[in-house]
Amino acid sequence: MKKYNVAILGATGAVGQEFLKLIEERNFPFAELRLLASSRSAGTEIPFMGKKYIVEEATSESFKDIDIALFAGGSISTEFAPYAVKAGAVVIDNSSAFRMDPEVPLVVPEVNPQAILKHKGIIANPNCSTIIMVMALKPIYDLAKIKRIIVSTYQAVSGAGKEGIDELTNQVKAYSEGKEMEAKILPSASLEKHYPIAFNLIPQIDIFLDNLYTKEEMKMVNETRKILEDYDIKITATTVRVPVYRSHSESVNVELESDLDLAAIKDAIAKFPGVQLQDDPQNQIYPMPIYTSDKNDVYVGRLRRDESAENSFNMWVVGDQIRKGAALNTLQIAETMIKNGWI
């Protein structure tokens, strides 16, 4: 098998570290591996697959001879993606910078792999919550047209990075010792006001827009439509940060244009690649974030009819947002390109 020169931008962060785990787990065919980060992290030594790699500071010259550039996300993407593309690399980016660009495909490989063919050097990885939801929606969408989606998310603190994880840990420790809980990160480090997440829920992820929805909520709306290539679907979202370390959970209500038997829906979900049906409520079997962390698949359960509306049902969807919601989906895009000879 041909091997490819791979660069990871943001190699020292949570998603970058997950890239490395998955490259090894999945035996990804790389020849050269170049680890890149900001000047702050440059010089860090990372042991990987029996070799020690030194993280380099990302520059305009960092992508020479690179075939595939995996970007972990953040504002740094917009600065370096053009350099990588100019050098001949295909950029697969985790930031939100390119997702709604009509020239950039937004891809979940199990859902819309054909979109990869439209790329002009950059492929966008969707928002983590969007990926988790569309993985559960696609097998249903293939059976009947979806008319409306109502989603509420319960998002882990790791979605805010290592700082969010550390803040939850520190707050739990402070609370247990009778000390004041310091809040510096959530709902967003860029905001003036912060709230504790330990023993709390914060109904804000990212900033509020003029329509009073957050950017995170509108990402789910707009990205879902783009991925499914269906701009007629009505979608409303409420995104909430919860005191969970890893794995996002979502309560999803779906209204179809025509009726479907619940058994047919369950069967389609169970057969869909990358999705596990975990739905036996009588025996208290349903997805939970503590059991889906570090897992590649998206888990679906609590399937039931919505008795308040026709052609509607509810489901509970859980997935590891660092794995399938970020690093794994990105790597799967690269694997799909290699498998089909698209690179």
Q: What is the pTM of this model?
A: 0.95
Q: Are 78 and 151 members of one domain?
A: no
Joined together, the tokens standing for residue 146 give 């979806």
Residues 168 and 246: their CA atoms lie apart, in Å, by 12
Q: Are 140 and 118 members of one domain?
A: no
Q: Are 253 and 108 members of one domain?
A: no
Q: Are 67 and 37 members of one domain?
A: yes
Q: Are 188 and 301 members of one domain?
A: yes
pLDDT at 162: 86
262-271 helix and 128-141 helix, angle to the nearest 10 degrees: 120
Catalytic residue status for 248: yes
Catalytic residue status for 194: no
Residues 326 and 335: their CA atoms lie apart, in Å, by 15
Alpha carbon separation from 153 to 19, 84, 131, 321 (Å, rounded): 25, 34, 12, 12
Q: Which of 119, 241, 246, 248 is catalytic?
A: 248
What does DSSP say about strands 234-241 and 146-155: parallel, antiparallel, or unpaired? parallel
Residues 19 and 36: their CA atoms lie apart, in Å, by 13
Q: Which of 7, 69, 76, 128 is catalytic?
A: 128
Torsion of CA 104, 110, 114, 119, to 10 degrees: 20
Q: How many CA atoms lie within 13 A of 327 on its CB side?
A: 26
Alpha carbon separation from 261 to 85, 136, 311, 316 (Å, rounded): 47, 16, 9, 18
pLDDT tens digit string along 278-324? 999 999 999 999 999 999 999 999 999 999 999 999 999 999 999 99
Burial 103-132 (b: 16+ CB within 10 A, else e): ebbbbbbbbbbebbeebebbbbbbbbbbbb
Residues 92 and 191: their CA atoms lie apart, in Å, by 29
Q: Count of domains in the chain?
A: 2
Alpha carbon separation from 251 to 43, 111, 220 (Å, rounded): 43, 20, 13
pLDDT at 6: 98
Q: Are 216 and 104 members of one domain?
A: no
Q: Are 82 and 174 members of one domain?
A: no
Q: Are 312 and 331 members of one domain?
A: no
Collapsing DSSP states into helix, strand and coil, what is residue 100?
coil
Q: Are 115 and 146 members of one domain?
A: no
pLDDT at 223: 98
pLDDT at 73: 84
Print the domain residue range for 45.
4-126+326-339
CATH code for position 96:
3.40.50.720
Q: In the block, which residue shows the tokens 């350099």?
A: 83
CATH code for position 158:
3.30.360.10
Residues 122 and 84: their CA atoms lie apart, in Å, by 9
Q: Are 181 and 99 members of one domain?
A: no
Q: Are 140 and 229 members of one domain?
A: yes
Residues 11 and 18: their CA atoms lie apart, in Å, by 9
Q: Are 333 and 311 members of one domain?
A: no
Indicate the residue type of 249: S
Per residue of the chain (343 residues), give pLDDT as tens.
799 999 999 999 989 999 999 999 999 999 999 999 988 889 999 999 999 999 999 999 999 999 999 999 888 899 999 999 999 999 999 999 999 999 999 999 999 999 999 999 999 999 999 999 999 999 999 999 999 999 999 999 999 988 999 999 999 999 999 999 999 999 998 899 999 999 999 999 999 999 999 999 999 999 999 999 999 999 999 999 999 999 999 999 999 999 999 999 999 999 999 999 999 999 999 999 999 999 999 999 999 999 999 999 999 999 999 999 999 999 999 999 999 999 9
